[in-house]
């Protein structure tokens, strides 16, 4: 058992999988440069000690590197390709959306794509092009599994599960949860470290978890929003409102069973997601829950999300953009009706 941050837990997952399986390799920008940082958030630091040739630094060519990773995956290798910021997935979008997501389907199921993609998300004072939460964008592209770890335990377990999966898996990681240290640390970071067991484990893709039990209202959120939901639940408890916090951990496939069970109990739902409200994760979850469980609901579902704007730079405006504990509490109170 050892206490680890998310950055450390991801690094351990990569290290162990690279040792366990020679087909696993990392590919990305600045990930294994001598004297460098091990990627933008230190995740791949030192992995070249496992196998120099399996930590591949590329030029700044996202579309190219994701295509290269796809080619290798089709041939049976197990690449872990990353972008330094999730926003650059848009640079790789042709390969990701037109090829990675579709080639198995187009082959009539003859081809496997055991490819993992990693992308940091979240607004962190860097302006509009280093800030987007792209989870909802990728929900609209069938063929890619999506995981969103909020804790170091889940980060390690989900990354291992993703590497062992025969389908493309996209992992979103939140910059404020990495626990990066020293020169790479982030202001406003939230502690997401966990005790990590010594033995090998995976967290199944598609399995959510109840983070806190409650009776009056269900709050669902991933990544940073899961932590804010827990803080909101603490505050609501002081007001006599018992909130249940659900962390789906995966968005594709989604653990509807777990969420439905919770909503059946509480009859109220608040969905929290960083990113524009329109067409967001909240929209999808709210639509599905109302489709399936209208009769159980005693109040309209509330979505807490960002306004439909690019991410502004100034902290004053960025804080307005990012959902916060106040707004989550407000939404929960609204479902209860005071």
Ligand X SMILES: Cc1ncc(C[n+]2csc(CCOP(=O)(O)OP(=O)(O)O)c2C)c(N)n1
The binding site for other proteins (CB under 8 A) comprises 29-30, 33-37, 57-64, 87-88, 90-91, 125-130, 182-183, 187, 307-310, 312-321
For other proteins, give the closer residue by CB, 88 or 138.
88
List binders of ligand X among 10-29 (CB under 6 A). 29
Q: Which residue in the block uniquely carries the two structure tokens 């989604």?
A: 254
Q: Which stretch binds ligand X (CB under 6 A): 72-80, 83-91, 277-285, 323-331?
A: 83-91
Binding piece for ligand X, criterion CB under 6 A, among 84-92, 131-139, 189-197, 217-225: 84-92
Q: How far is the CB of 27 from other proteins (least distance, A)?
A: 13
Cα–Cα dist 82/62, whole Å: 9
Backbone angles phi, psi at 96, to 5 degrees: -70, -50
Nearest-approach distance from CB 120 to other proteins, in angstroms: 13
172 binds ligand X (CB under 6 A): no
Contact 205, 253 (CB under 8 A): yes
- SS3 of residue 4 by DSSP: strand
Kindly give the residue spans of alpha helices, DSSP state H, lying in 75-222.
93, 103-106, 135-139, 152-164
Binding mask 28-57 toward ligand X (x if CB under 6 A, else -) reads -x----------------------------
Task: Give the one entry of other proteins, ligand X, none that residue 36 binds, where binding means its C-beta sits below a cut-off of 5 to 8 angstroms depending on kind.
Answer: other proteins
Question: Pick from ligand X, other proteins, none: which does 35 bind, CB < 5 to 8 A by kind?
Answer: other proteins
Show which residues are catalytic: 130
Q: Please, is 334 exposed, middle or buried when counting C-beta atoms within 10 Å of its C-beta (0-12, 13-18, 19+)?
A: middle
Q: Interface with ligand X includes 321 (CB under 6 A)?
A: no
Nearest distance in Å: CB 337, other proteins: 27
**Taking the complex as a whole, how short is the minimal distance between the CB of residue 303 and other proteins, in angstroms?**
17
- Among positions 41, 88, 153, 321, the unique one binding ligand X when judged by CB under 6 A: 88
| Alpha carbons 76 and 163: distance in angstroms, whole number | 12
Least separation in angstroms between CB 86 and ligand X: 11
Nearer to ligand X, 84 or 222 (CB): 84
What is the C-alpha R_g of the chain? 20
Query: Which residues sit opposite 121 in a β-bridge?
Result: 174
**Which of the choices ligand X, other proteins, none does residue 240 contact, using the CB cut-off of 5 to 8 A by kind?**
none
């Amino acid at each position: 058992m050892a206490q680890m941050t998310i950055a450390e837990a991801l690094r351990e997952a990569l290290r162990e999988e690279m040792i366990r399986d020679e087909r696993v390799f990392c590919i990305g920008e600045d990930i294994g440069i001598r004297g460098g940082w091990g990627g933008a958030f230190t995740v791949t630091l030192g992995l070249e000690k496992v196998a120099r040739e399996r930590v591949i630094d590329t030029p700044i060519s996202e579309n190219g590197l994701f295509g290269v990773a796809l080619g290798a995956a089709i041939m049976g290798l197990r690449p872990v390709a990353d972008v330094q910021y999730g926003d650059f997935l848009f640079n790789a979008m042709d390969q990701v959306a037109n090829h990675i997501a579709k080639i198995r389907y187009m082959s009539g199921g003859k081809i496997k794509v055991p490819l993992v993609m990693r992308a940091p998300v979240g607004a962190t004072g860097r302006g509009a092009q280093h800030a987007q939460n792209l989870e909802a964008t990728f929900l609209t592209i069938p063929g890619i599994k999506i995981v969103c770890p909020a804790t170091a335990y889940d980060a390690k377990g989900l990354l291992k599960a993703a590497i062992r999966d025969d389908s493309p898996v996209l992992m979103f990681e939140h910059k404020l949860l990495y626990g990066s240290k020293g020169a790479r640390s982030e202001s406003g970071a939230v502690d997401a470290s966990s005790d990590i067991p010594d033995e090998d484990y995976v967290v199944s893709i598609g399995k959510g978890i109840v983070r806190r039990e409650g009776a009056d209202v269900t709050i669902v959120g991933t990544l940073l929003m899961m932590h804010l939901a827990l803080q909101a639940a603490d505050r609501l408890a002081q007001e006599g409102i018992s909130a249940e916090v659900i962390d789906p951990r995966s968005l594709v496939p989604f653990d509807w069973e777990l969420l439905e069970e919770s909503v059946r109990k509480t009859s109220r739902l608040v969905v929290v997601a960083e990113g524009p409200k329109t067409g967001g994760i909240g929209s999808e979850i709210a639509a599905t829950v109302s489709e399936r469980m209208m009769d159980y609901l005693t109040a309209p579902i509330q979505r807490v999300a960002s306004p439909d704007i690019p991410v502004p730079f100034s902290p004053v405006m960025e804080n307005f953009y990012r959902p916060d504990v106040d707004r989550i509490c407000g939404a929960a109170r609204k479902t209860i009706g005071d």
